[in-house]
Structure 1
Amino acid sequence: MPRAPKAVPQSPAPAAAPAVDVNSEVGHLDRAITTAISTAKSGGLPNGYIVAVLHAHALKQTQLLLG
């Protein structure tokens, strides 16, 4: 008579991450970026330099996300 396989112990489910209000967080991020750009402009940084810095950060974050 065939035997039934033994039950495999299951690990507990991971704790659920707290809910995030994405719209609110994007709004905070947008305001922070806008404030930083305005401060950089008023400090005399050229627009091209500001764009280059933002572009470099975006590329770096993309590299980190993709591994």
Structure 2
Amino acid sequence: MTEKGILAGLPWWVQWIVLPVLVIAVCGSLILSVLGFLISLVFKALLLVALIGGLIFVFKKFTSSSSSRGDW
């Protein structure tokens, strides 16, 4: 049996309202935990990029200012 054959006899409101509500009710906590993990991972990656960028900026600023002091 294909999925189309199973859902073929059901009204549209069962396919588009009842089934998604049941899926969210049963698997909602799993979906939220996966989304939370992904958002946390993206946030940590952005924070890491910002910290590395800031470190490189500070390092270049101090190295360029120390070499320019040597020119005086």
Select the structure with the greater relative contact order (CA < 8 A; seq sep ≥ 6): 1
* TM-score for the superposition, normalised by structure 2: 0.34
Q: Which has the larger radius of gyration?
A: 2
Structure with the higher fraction of residues in helix conformation: 2
